Structure 1
């Protein structure tokens, strides 16, 4: 999921140290898993869907800010 940009590590670490992720990354992983399981899309498709969902959220936020 890192390779497809679904999640990004908080720290670049060597192989001996653990990799840490933000809580938003955890939500993105859960969304990706549900997309793969429920809709039978591959990781690349899930990554694209998550990117589009993020874009929709941003556009809605911008629209709300313009309306207020």
Structure 2
């Protein structure tokens, strides 16, 4: 996976996020319920997503479609990828010593 700088100041509505990622609203709502993305707002009509949500939705779509993994499995895979990324950053900054 390659790194992409996403502007965290960007905010997207549910429809904008779905359009950018080619995802159905049902899928993104399921991702919110699964804890994969965490919008602000009280419900789907008010939700605002950050730029990070774009990458997370795209990654989960690939995992579920290409590998045929269910959404809870994709959420676990994404969590493990997040932890791996954090460990790599710590290592690069000299925070972990073997």
TM-score range normalised by the length of the shorter chain: 0.7 to 0.9
- Secondary structure (helix, strand or coil) at the match of 2:69 reads coil
1:3 matches 2:3? no
Residue 58 of structure 1, CA deviation: 0.2
The structure with the largest strand share of the pair is 2
Q: How does 1:8-23 map to 2 (within 5 A)?
A: 8-9=38-39, 11-14=40-43, 17-23=45-51
Residue-pair matches, total: 65
Aligned-residue RMSD, C-alpha? 1.6
Partner of 1:50: 78
**Deviation beyond 3 Å, 4+ runs, structure 1:** none
